[in-house]
Structure 1
Amino acid sequence: MSAKYLAGFVAVAGLAVAGLDYYQKAKASGDGLSAGDYIAAFTGGSEDAPASVESTSEVQESETAEPPGKLVCKTVGNTKRCRSEG
């Protein structure tokens, strides 16, 4: 009989965690979140769609761009202070 209690506890705990996660995501979305949208987040819905080839090339170009300035660091006592120049 203890296996039944353990299974029931795990089921109730899982529902509580799922309910809390749903509440937090619905609150963060601002305009609410339907149950279908919540399930789609886990099953590969529109939010989890892979990025297109064009968007990944734009990201790669921005990563290879030169930084706006150079970082200069000085050690003062036991601390290190850094600032950007440029």
Structure 2
Amino acid sequence: MVVAHGEHGYEAKALRWGLIPAWAKDPKTGAKTINAGAETGASRTAFRNAFKKRRCLVPASGYFEWRVKEGDLHIS
């Protein structure tokens, strides 16, 4: 569940995770565009419009990030 703007103001609703960019011809592209960093979200072409106009809050108690260390994939 996320908190997003709806017909009657802000409301909790279930959304699909991912972003289908306006230029995408195949909805499966959304599975590849799921992670916009805070540093680049506003400037990357795929995320720019959504960053300005379609935001939501995702309540969470934690998160994880992938990182590569010496060629191996680790979770930090």
Higher strand share: 2
TM-score computed with the length of structure 1 as normaliser: 0.19
Q: Which has the higher contact order (CA 8 A, sep 6+)?
A: 2
TM-score computed with the length of structure 2 as normaliser: 0.21
Q: Computing the radius of gyration over CA atoms, which structure comes out larger, 1 or 2?
A: 1
Higher helix share: 1
